[in-house]
């Protein structure tokens, strides 16, 4: 998959950790989802075959299944690895929502923290235990550098988001998470935690970027969850957390002086297989590996239909 491209009326190009984003006349965005993989805000040295297709198609599916809750940015899916959508002014926060005490939240809890982004956590919880009610633990959306955890109170105090808009973001976050939870349960999965990004066009709020993918979300298998929790055993999961755990086990957490461990062909293949496994479980359909050799042509044809 060759990128970057140059499209008619292109205003700018941005290469993210995983996505290549093209601004077309300040009206449309072309998002090409690459096979790059990142962890701890570091792009790892080898791409993961078909990862981009997995992310793009899962996100497209879930955005279509939640547009009755909140409108979203998508206009067209011209290729397995690409999405065309509206240009929105993004909010400078990511809405992270957690249904279970897992991942970084558990690591903080294990270290004694009982306040997470302004949310008080009860004593005596176990790793991967379900919260009585899902909690929102937002992060700042950094232009450069690392995103940082932040509380609702600080977001409002600093004027990052208005009170009226933030309350809408909270409502949409809970509703979309509930929809994702229900869909996952039908597939024998638990949607553990995820993050959403939102933007505005005028006064209208849109759900943007990706949702419910293994890069933005964590899933457990429903079967055996209670037994593993009772026995203090690790949950069987489908998410990018296994990549982070592999890196941590090899003494890498993105800190200065640390080196990314060797990504052998076996490691790369196993990560690819895990992404495909999640696709097939969460969407309930066979993953079909698509050819991306006509990516640029497919995008150009779709832009033409949008009268650009």
* DSSP states of 5-45: ---TTEEEEEE-SSEEEEEETTTEEEEEE-S--EETTEE-S
Question: What is the pLDDT averaged over residues 160-179?
Answer: 98
Which band of pLDDT confidence, cut at 50, 70 and 90, is reported for residue 278?
confident
Domain boundaries, the chain: 92-204+216-239
Which band of pLDDT confidence, cut at 50, 70 and 90, is reported for residue 14?
very high
Q: Is the pLDDT of residue 144 over 70?
A: no
Q: How far apart are CA 305 and CA 97, in angstroms?
A: 37
pTM of this structure: 0.90
Question: What is the pLDDT averaged over residues 257-280?
Answer: 93
Comparing C-alpha atoms, which of 95, 92, 72 is closest to residue 204? 72
Tell me the pairing of strands 139-140 and 204-208: unpaired
What is the model's pLDDT at position 90? 96
Q: Is the pLDDT of residue 13 over 60?
A: yes
Q: How far apart are CA 228 and CA 233, in angstroms?
A: 5
Mean pLDDT of the chain: 94
Question: What is the pLDDT averaged over residues 27-54?
Answer: 95
Question: What is the pLDDT averaged over residues 100-117?
Answer: 95
Task: Report helix, strand or coil for 124.
Answer: coil
Assigned CATH class of 92-204+216-239: alpha beta
């Amino acid at each position: 998959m060759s990128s970057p491209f140059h499209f008619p009326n292109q205003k700018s190009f941005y290469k993210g950790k995983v996505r290549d984003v093209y601004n077309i006349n300040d009206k449309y965005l072309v998002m090409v989802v690459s096979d790059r993989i990142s962890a701890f805000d570091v792009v790892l040295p080898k791409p993961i075959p078909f990862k981009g297709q997995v992310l793009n198609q899962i996100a497209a599916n879930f955005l279509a299944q939640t547009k009755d809750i909140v409108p979203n940015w998508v206009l067209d899916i011209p290729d397995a690895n690409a999405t065309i959508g509206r240009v929105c002014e993004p909010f400078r926060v990511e809405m992270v929502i957690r249904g279970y005490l897992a991942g970084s939240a558990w690591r903080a809890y294990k270290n004694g923290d009982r306040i997470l982004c302004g949310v008080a956590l009860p004593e005596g919880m176990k790793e991967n235990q379900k919260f009585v009610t899902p909690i929102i633990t937002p992060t700042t959306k950094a232009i450069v550098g690392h995103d940082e955890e932040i509380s609702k109170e600080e977001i409002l105090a600093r004027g990052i988001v208005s009170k009226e808009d933030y309350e809408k973001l909270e409502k949409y976050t809970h509703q979309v998470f509930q929809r994702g939870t229900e869909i996952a349960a039908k597939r024998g999965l638990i949607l553990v935690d995820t993050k959403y990004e939102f933007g505005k066009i005028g006064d209208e709020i849109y759900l943007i970027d990706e949702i419910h993918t293994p890069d933005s979300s964590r899933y457990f298998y429903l079967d055996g969850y209670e037994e593993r929790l009772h026995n203090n055993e690790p949950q069987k999961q489908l998410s990018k957390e296994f990549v982070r755990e592999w890196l941590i086990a090899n003494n890498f957490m993105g800190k200065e002086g640390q080196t990314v461990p060797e990504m052998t062909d076996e490691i790369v293949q196993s990560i690819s297989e895990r992404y495909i496994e999640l696709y097939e479980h969460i969407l309930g359909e066979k993953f079909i590996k698509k050819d991306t050799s006509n990516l640029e042509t497919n995008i150009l044809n779709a832009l033409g239909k949008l009268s650009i």
